[in-house]
Structure 1
Amino acid sequence: MARRKKIYEGKAKILYEGPEPGTIVQYFKDDATAFNAEKKATIEGKGVLNNRLSEFFMTGLTQIGVPNHFIKRLNMREQLVRAAEIIPLEVIVRNFAAGSLSKRLGIPEGEPLPRPIIEFCYKDDALGDPLVAEEHIIAFGWASQQDLDDIVSLALRVNDFMSGLMLGVGIKLVDFKIEIGRVWDNDYQRLLVADEISPDSCRLWDIETGQKLDKDVFRRDLGSLSDAYTEVARRLGVLPSNVTHTTKPTLIN
């Protein structure tokens, strides 16, 4: 097998040149990080689960007409995606108060918000991904006003899809973050959902018990991250119903 050219390595994924122009191979690592990578660990099987779950969510978005970069899953840890120019923003959609929103505004965790709230953070690890306003985004040229309108529309469509999907399996979608990329079809630019959608990028709570099924398990030392992610995959039908641990996941094609 020919050695592939690495394009970029982040905290949770490695990007390689794809087999065709305009494509990228996205490899999911087992690394877990929190607090801007101040806390680190290797969680066996995490990359496999996030690969499969992101495929599941992106495929569902495609089916309802939400554009995204996913093309196909290649193997247990890799997927082929469309190359895109990533807008340097984390787009956060909040349905319930949690995390930094609760700390900033003093709202108790778990309190329902009057409507979904969309926030933007500037993607810069050295700065700690600071919260920014739409005025900053437009003034510094990260995105135009039309881009922002389209980003908000995409984010709310993802929220509707993900909220309904999770509700159907007894999980509350507290909040999530996505990244948006630009692609060009001839001279026409359009935006699409990129990066990943997985328990790494969502807050997921069991509706009945409030049990956390996301990366807060790792952040707050609440138990096994593998077990939490496996439970999400099991409820969504990504794993067989009799799987209880994901050291060596058995995935459904």
Structure 2
Amino acid sequence: MARGRKLYEGKAKVLFAGPEPGTIIQYFKDDATAFNNVKKGTITGKGVLNNRISEYLMTKLMEIGIPTHFLKRINMREQLIREVEIIPVEIIVRNIAAGSMSKRLGIPEGTQLPRSIVEYCYKSDELGDPLIAEEHITAFGWASPQDLDDILAMSLRVNDFLSGLFAGIGIKLVDFKLEYGRIFDENGEMRIVLADEISPDNCRLWDTTTNEKMDKDRFRRDLGNVAEAYQEVARRLGILPEGGLQDLQGSDTLQ
């Protein structure tokens, strides 16, 4: 599939102009970062695995009526997505205390929360993605009150579905980050869709029995076996790459 000019390169993905107007090719890198890009490294095969995992989860969510930017996977490291206007707000859905919540509030990591808690962060690498309130979002015009209601409802539905899906394969969905974007049709009508990716890069996933971490916290905390943890998530989902793991190095796709 013809790839156009590079539009953007982030910490984990590269975006290229797609073959048709309104489309983008999203390339998944093996680069890994943590603590607002302070810690950097490489997780061999992460891009391949995240491409497959995100494809699988986005497809499952579309089957239950969640609109997304995903169109199709092109190859081991690339997928075709719709071009969206990204809303500069990250939605964090938390089921179990971990990470920054535990540090901020002094809640021991692993504490089951009385209910799912949704937090919002302003999407800004320069500012370190600061925690914000709904009032910031609506006051500064990042999203309207109705948009925010729709985003909250979709996020909670995503949480319910993914929590059940992961529980079925012996994994706890501790917390995760979502991003949304706006799509405009030929009549100028706008709708909000789920964007970015859903993978062990932006989900905390713990083994149900052992609480072993199966996500990017293994990289953040120098726990080792990072690639193996991502592979285990893909294995349990039944979506390890075709032909096994021989393409996990795959550097020649991005030239």
Q: TM-score, normalised by structure 2?
A: 0.93
Rounded Cα–Cα distance in structure 2 between residues aligned with 1:192 and 1:173: 22
**Match for residue 43 of structure 1?**
43
Amino acid at match of 1:209: T
**Equivalences for residues 126-141 of structure 1 within 5 A:** 126-141=126-141
Q: What does 1:167-246 align with in structure 2 at a 5 Å threshold?
A: 167-185=167-185, 186-239=187-240, 246=245
Mapped partners of 2:170, 2:203: distance in 1? 15
Counterpart contact for 2:182–2:192, Cα < 8 Å: yes
Superposed CA deviations along residues 72-120 of structure 1, whole A, max 9, x for unmatched, are 0000000000111000011100000000001111111111111111101
Unaligned runs of 5+ in 2: 249-255
1:76 and 1:2 mapped to 2: Cα distance? 15
Matches within 5 A, 1:54-203: 54-185=54-185, 186-203=187-204
- Counterpart of 1:210, as a letter, is N
For the residue of structure 1 that corresponds to 2:213, the secondary structure is coil
Counting aligned pairs with the same residue, the percent is: 70
Shift of 1:4: 2.4
Distance 1:92 1:49 in 2: 22
C-alpha distance in structure 2 between counterparts of 1:183 and 1:175, whole Å:
27
- TM-superposed CA distance for 1:188, in Å, is 1.7
Q: Name the SS of the counterpart of 1:174 in structure 2.
A: strand
Q: How far apart in 2 are the matches of 1:239 and 1:180?
A: 27
Q: Give the distance between the partners of 1:27 and 1:166, measured in 2 at CA.
A: 25
- 8 Å CA contact 2:13–2:26 kept in 1: the answer is yes
- What is the aligned residue count? 247
Question: Aligned letter for 2:157?
Answer: R
User: What is aligned with 2:32?
Assistant: 32
Distance 1:2 1:26 in 2: 13
Q: State the secondary structure of the residue aligned to 2:142.
A: coil
Contact 1:122 1:131 in 2 (8 A): yes
Q: What is residue 8 of structure 1 aligned with on the other side?
A: 8
Alpha-carbon separation, structure 2, partners of 1:21 and 1:3: 12
Evaluate the alpha carbon distance shift between residue 80 and residue 122 of structure 1 in structure 2; reply closer, same or farther with a 3 A threshold.
Answer: same
SS in 1 for 2:126: helix
Paired with 2:142 and 2:206, the residues of 1 have a C-alpha distance of: 33
CA contact (8 A) 1:45 1:247 kept: no
Structure 1 residues 212 and 3: alpha-carbon distance in aligned structure 2, compared to 1, 3 A threshold: closer
For the Cα contact (< 8 Å) 2:4–2:19, is it kept in 1?
no
Say whether the 8 Å CA contact 2:49–2:240 is kept in structure 1. no
1:2 shift after superposition: 6.3
Q: CA deviation at 1:3?
A: 6.3
Distance of 1:129 and 1:34 partners within structure 2: 12
C-alpha distance in structure 1 between counterparts of 2:30 and 2:38, whole Å: 16
State the alpha-carbon separation in 2 of the partners of residues 2 and 13 from structure 1. 18
**Alpha-carbon distance in 2 for matches of 1:164, 1:122:** 28
In 2, distance between residues paired with 1:134 and 1:55?
30
